[in-house]
Amino acid sequence: MRNADNKDPGISGPSAEQAKSDVIFDMSKRCSHTPKSGYKKLYRKLRSSYSMGVNKDEIAADVICNAKCLVFGNPRQEFSPAELDVLKQYVEEGGSMLFLFRETDGKKEHESNANLLLEQFGLGVNNDALVRTVYYRYHHPKETLVVDGIMNSSLTKAALARGERQSKGKSSNIGADGNDRKKKDKLEFVFPYGSTLAIQKPAVPLLSSGHIAYPLNRPIAGVWEGESVGGGKAGRVAVVGSADMFGDEWLDKEDNWRIGEQLIGWLTRGGGQGDAGEGYADLAKIRGKTARKYRSTTASLTRSSSVSACTRACRWTTPCPATERTSTACLTRPCSASPLSSSLQLWLCMTL
């Protein structure tokens, strides 16, 4: 329902109400995905279990101090040094943050310095894009379907078990994407228009690109959990390389919502209403596969346009006689060449 001003009461409101919210979506950094655009469906789903809020002003400690989780949906504006300090202190005091990114468009005005903060937790987003090498189910190569990308087995068990409890009493086991959930034993997800991550310990990867998408078996989502001090809560940080994964168009595709539900539940420590505190996995401990190291490929287009030296050493330096330059013997006769340079006699043999 909307109020007389045609505004969603859960989205707008004074900062005093935002300070009491469990989950706060940030809109101060020109985020491409917000509760008003891109995350409408996600916002409605979370509102049934959590008290929600939105921050449109500069990030301040008095606004976020009581929040259980901050969500940044692809920030496209730089954080000030003061805001970075506030966010770091917020995590050190037991707060949680979720950063979601998208493949870069190359525009400097859309760049963010969020990596300066995330690198302190062993996380970071790469300037690349994930592409599926084989067409299957989705038309665009960057709308990547990953069928073997879950790196934490407890995530699969908790998500499937929670889904079974929620589906009890329902007559149909067909999901929103048309797939049968009855005999499901693994999670599949769509990772549209996303990037890979750079992860170092103590952070751990949560999702990987699998063996079909390129780059192969690279982390595309990761989490970090700090150490509790004095019996308090430990801070938690999660990064997902695709903001569209939980967007309005893709949230109900495959098992995207199940993964998002577990991720938010872990970040808030199951602190929602009703049964939100039950059935969430411990995502900070990796159980299962490991990710490959990041390997850059050769710039083939650039190298093909440059002159390359001979790479095969020749032991002969005798030039071809002039009488043999027009015969087939010239092609088999050794010419002068070395690994570091091309001899003028070699060019004469080939041109005359």
Mean residue pLDDT across the chain: 78
Q: Is residue 220 a contact partner of residue 240, using CB atoms and an 8 Å limit?
A: yes
DSSP letters, 187-215, are --EEEET---B---TT-EEEEE-TTTEES
Report how far Cα 200 is from the mean position of its chain's Cα atoms: 15
Q: Locate the DSSP E strands across 93-187.
A: 96-100, 131-132, 143-146
Q: Is residue 242 a contact partner of residue 220, using CB atoms and an 8 Å limit?
A: yes
Residue 54's pLDDT is 94
- Distance between CA atoms of residues 75 and 61, nearest Å: 19
Please name the amino acid found at residue 135.
Y
Domain 15-267 is found in CATH 1.10.3720.10: no
| Regions in the chain scoring below 50 on pLDDT | 1-14, 16, 171, 274-276, 288, 311-317, 325, 327, 331, 335-337, 339-342
- Distance between CA atoms of residues 47 and 10, nearest Å: 8
Residue 316's pLDDT is 45
Choose among 120, 115, 45, 111: nearest CA to 90: 120
- Distance between CA atoms of residues 342 and 352, nearest Å: 16
Domain spans of the chain?
15-267, 304-351
Q: Which residues contact residue 305 at a Cβ distance below 8 angstroms, ignoring those fewer than 6 apart?
A: none
**SS3 sequence of 248-302:** CCCCCCCCHHHHHHHHHHHHCCCCCCCCCCCCCCCCCCCECCCCCCCCCCCCHHH
The kind and range of the H/E element at 151 are none
Phi, psi of 341, rounded to the nearest 5 degrees: -155, 165
Query: Residue 264: how many CB atoms within 10 A of its CB?
Result: 28
Q: Helix (H, G, I), strand (E, B), or coil: what is residue 333?
A: coil
Cis-peptide into 202, omega within 30 deg: yes
Q: Looking at the DSSP assignment, which residues form a beta bridge with residue 174?
A: 180
Residue 6's pLDDT is 43
Q: Looking at the DSSP assignment, which residues form a beta bridge with residue 219?
A: 208
- Chain segment 283-327, per-residue pLDDT in tens: 877 654 555 555 555 566 666 666 555 544 444 445 555 555 454
Q: 183 to each of 104, 169, 186, 187, how far by Cα in Å?
A: 38, 16, 9, 12
Phi, psi of 215, rounded to the nearest 5 degrees: -65, 150
